[in-house]
Amino acid sequence: MNLCIDQGNTRIKYALFENDLMHNHSIAITDISEVSISFKNLLKEYPIDKVIVCNVSGNPDFPYSLLFSSYKIVHLDHQTPIPLINNYLTPHTLGNDRMAAAIGGFSQFPNHDILVIDMGTAITFDIVSKEGEFDGGNISPGMSLRFKALNAYTGRLPLCEYQREHDFFGRSTQEAIVAGVLNSIKMEIEGYIDYFNKIYQNPVVILTGGDANKFEIQRKSNIFAIPDLVLYGLNNILEFNSKE
């Protein structure tokens, strides 16, 4: 079995894979004190063979190498062999989770041009060509960042948060902020999808990330929601490296 670990800005997600299939479901840990206990229990319960870690948190890695010292472990970085051609001009600055999501998307839809939209702390838009080349993408502030920025960089605007029910235009300052942030994100994403559909033939769009389920994106053909895309990509990278 493969253990794939995605250490993000606010939580650590992990999943077990067996024969390229996710075992049960992914699990998220938000309390760092629980990490060691969770993984030690996992090692006792399952026949894990290989481990891959993707850390984009900016914090030092949890001591994975020590905990998994008797296992084959890959720490994903820009020098790790991957099953895509990376055309990014500064590969050392590319978020490892962006690459993992791109690889996860291409593993699910090979021979298609793919737009991966990852909605987390930041919203990223990344393109993979049907030839298997990562052609870059864009980075935009995520939902929480937009709410926090309006509060932090103005004198009187309150800190707001996500609300599923909201009008298109607000009739109070709080309503205006909520509607402004949420509608702007939705229209931004739909604009990217429209543009992508114009320049590629029969492309695939994949939505992923913690905030993806909070937005009702116009469901056109070839739009798929895959919440654990990064973990699927990590498993694909781990298998690729085991064959190297």
Do 143 and 120 contact (CB within 8 A), yes or no?
Answer: no
pLDDT at 220 over 70: no
Q: What amino acid occupies position 31?
A: D
DSSP states of 127-173 as a string?
EE-TTSEEEEEEEEE-HHHHHHHHHHTSSSPPP----SS--SS-SSH
DSSP 78: T
- Other C-beta atoms closer than 10 Å to the C-beta of 67 total 16
Q: Average pLDDT, stretch 56-77? A: 82
Edge-to-edge strand ranges of the sheet holding 21-29 = 21-29, 12-18, 2-7, 50-55, 72-75
pLDDT at 58 over 80: no
Do 101 and 118 contact (CB within 8 A), yes or no?
Answer: yes
**pLDDT, tens digit, for every residue of 5-22?**
998 877 888 999 998 899
The region, left, alpha or beta by phi > 0 then psi within -120 to 50, assigned to residue 118 is: beta
pLDDT-derived band at 103, boundaries 50, 70, 90: very high
What the chain holds in terms of domains, given with CATH numbers, is: 2-142+182-242 (3.30.420.40)
Give the relative orientation of helices 96-108 and 229-242 as an angle to the nearest 10 degrees. Answer: 90
pLDDT of 9 reads 74
Sign of CA dihedral 157, 158, 159, 161: negative
Catalytic residues: 97
For residue 18, give both structure tokens.
């067996």
Average pLDDT, the chain: 91
Task: Give the closest residue to 105 by CA, choosing from 124, 127, 86.
Answer: 127
The region, left, alpha or beta by phi > 0 then psi within -120 to 50, assigned to residue 173 is: alpha
Contacts 24+ apart (CB under 8 A), 25-32: 26/227, 26/228, 26/231, 32/62
Bigger pLDDT: 240 vs 243 = 240
- Other C-beta atoms closer than 10 Å to the C-beta of 152 total 10
CA angle 200, 201, 207 (to 5 degrees): 65
pLDDT at 61 over 70: no
**pLDDT, tens digit, for every residue of 197-211?**
999 988 999 999 989
